[in-house]
Each structure stands twice: as C-alpha cells, then as structure tokens.
Amino acid sequence: MELNIKRVIWKFPIKLRPDQEIWMPQDSKIISVGVQDNENVSVWAEVNPQIGKSVVRRIVIRATGHLYEPGPEKFIGTVLTWNGVNVWHVYEAPIPPAPVSGN
C-alpha cells in the first residue's frame, strides 16, 4: 500500500552566475524559476518536509546571446531581471563525478 506523503513548496534563492550548487531535501522536484524585486532569482520545488537528508543540486544559468557548450541539462525556465534588460535561462545539470585520485 502506497502512503500519501504530503508535500510543500519551498523557495531556494540562486545567484546570477553560470554554475552553482544548492542544497535541497532529497527527492525534491524543481517546478519553476522566477524573479522577485526585479533582481532576486529563485527556484521553487515541491519537497517532503519530513525528509531530513539534503542533497546537492547543480543549477546552470545562461544569458541570451552568449555562446555555450550544450550538455545534458534539463530546462527549468527563463527569467527577466531589471525590467527585462537581462534575460536568463535556468537549467538543472547533473553533478559531475568527483575526480579520482591516482594513488
């Protein structure tokens, strides 16, 4: 029998930089990205607040018109800051594997 686990939506602020990692409860589902106060960008996710374990999620941001190398990212959404002057495209990317040290 499957349990009906209640979820809640939480906001996770992100910085306007190309690559970053944020912590979220395990099994969180990113549902949107948006901007508040004309410049503060956040992602919103459905989370189970009873899960105590957090995991790292990688967020990649690209500006309109800038060259980039495509990868396996999943598009989250587009946000506009400073009254539409800047347009940012936000993706979730896989966490790269840790480097293997040669002993």
Q: Which residues partner with 59 through β-bridges?
A: 20, 92
Q: In what order do the strands lie in the sheet with 74-81?
A: 19-25, 54-63, 86-93, 74-81
pLDDT for 1:
43
pLDDT for residue 98: 73
Non-local CB neighbours of 78 within 8 Å, separated by 6+ positions: 33, 87, 88, 89, 90
pLDDT score for 102: 65
Q: Kindly list the domain boundaries of the chain, sorted by start residue.
A: 8-93
pLDDT at 34: 97
The pLDDT of residue 3 is 63
Mean pLDDT, the chain cut into blocks of 10 residues (103 residues total): 78 95 95 92 95 93 92 95 92 85 65
> What local confidence, expressed as pLDDT, does residue 37 receive?
85
